Amino acid sequence: MEIKSPFPISKTVIERYKTQGYIKIKDVFSPEELATFEEKIDSIVLKEKVSLPPLAQRDTYSKAFIQLGNLWEQDETIKSLVFSKCLAHIAQQLMEVKTVRLYHDQALYKEAGGGITPWHCDQQYWPMASDKNITAWIPLQSTSLKMGPLEFSAGSQQLLKGRNLEIGDESEKELGKLLRLTDFEKHCSPFDLGDVSFHSGWIFHRAGANTTTQIRKVMTVIFMDGEMKLKTPENQNQTQDWEKWCPGTKVDEVINSPLNPILYP
């Protein structure tokens, strides 16, 4: 599937992203493109759903979403989304880097009745030597507040406290308390079909429960600076990510495994 390529954005958008730690961009994909991606991603994720225990028997993290990664390896249409020059060009402009490399993709399907996604920051899990990374969050349907869209603590990428907390009940409680004591505004709004948000690795964010009867279907793509180096892992999560998403890469070397190709330019 061919996707429109380069997607220029304004300096105003870039500056807002640098201040807030996230940005939402409209009309990145057409409804027709998203419907095609949805069909292919559904075919993989919904097979996984059949094997899962009922929601009531899962912990907070497992109730938040069905999570599967590197779907680009399984389907050419999904690969065209993950490798699209459109997304990678936006990421390149927002990160202000010369080249953009893939870290990995993830489908995040929040089931009907699925619980909250607790407050957290992503880079706690990533063995990256700098903060030049960004996640594209791509809803495959219009997403109302009742479905659990992302909520950001705008500007909280500046905070150092709380970064060590793994996503879960403790992070929801402790980060919720910490963020209430700051001046960072909470931003949460619906996503229209075609909207894509981009957020930095250190911004604190969460999502509400899905109180509708529909699955909230989201695909994500995580990008990084093409010159990103692997750092010595600081926790078990980063060690696991190293082994899973950057196989064969050595500490202090550019993350250049077969799973991490340059996507832009």
Contact (Cβ atoms closer than 8 angstroms) between residue 102 and residue 155? no
Domain-embedded: residue 81: yes
Q: How many domains does the chain have?
A: 1
Report the percentage of the chain scoring pLDDT > 70.
98
Peptide bond into 31 cis (omega under 30): no
Domain-embedded: residue 149: yes
Instruction: Annotate 87-142 with DSSP letters as a single string.
Output: HHHHHHHHHT-S-EEEEEEEEEEE-TT---EEEE-GGGG--BSSS-EEEEEEESS-
Contact (Cβ atoms closer than 8 angstroms) between residue 67 and residue 26? no
Q: How confident is the model at residue 3 (pLDDT cuts 50, 70, 90)?
A: low
CATH number at residue 78: 2.60.120.620
Domain enclosing residue 68, as ranges: 11-117+130-154+188-229
Contact (Cβ atoms closer than 8 angstroms) between residue 187 and residue 6? no
The structure's pTM equals 0.96
Query: pLDDT value at position 232?
Result: 98
Residue spans of beta strands (DSSP E) within the chain:
22-25, 66-69, 100-110, 117-120, 133-139, 150-153, 186-188, 196-200, 205-207, 216-225, 262-264
Give me 128's structure tokens: 């990256």
Domain-embedded: residue 101: yes
Which of 15-24, 43-52, 83-92, 95-104 is the least confident region? 43-52
What is the Cα–Cα distance from 185 to 198, expressed in whole angstroms?
Answer: 17
Domain-embedded: residue 197: yes
Query: pLDDT value at position 141?
Result: 98
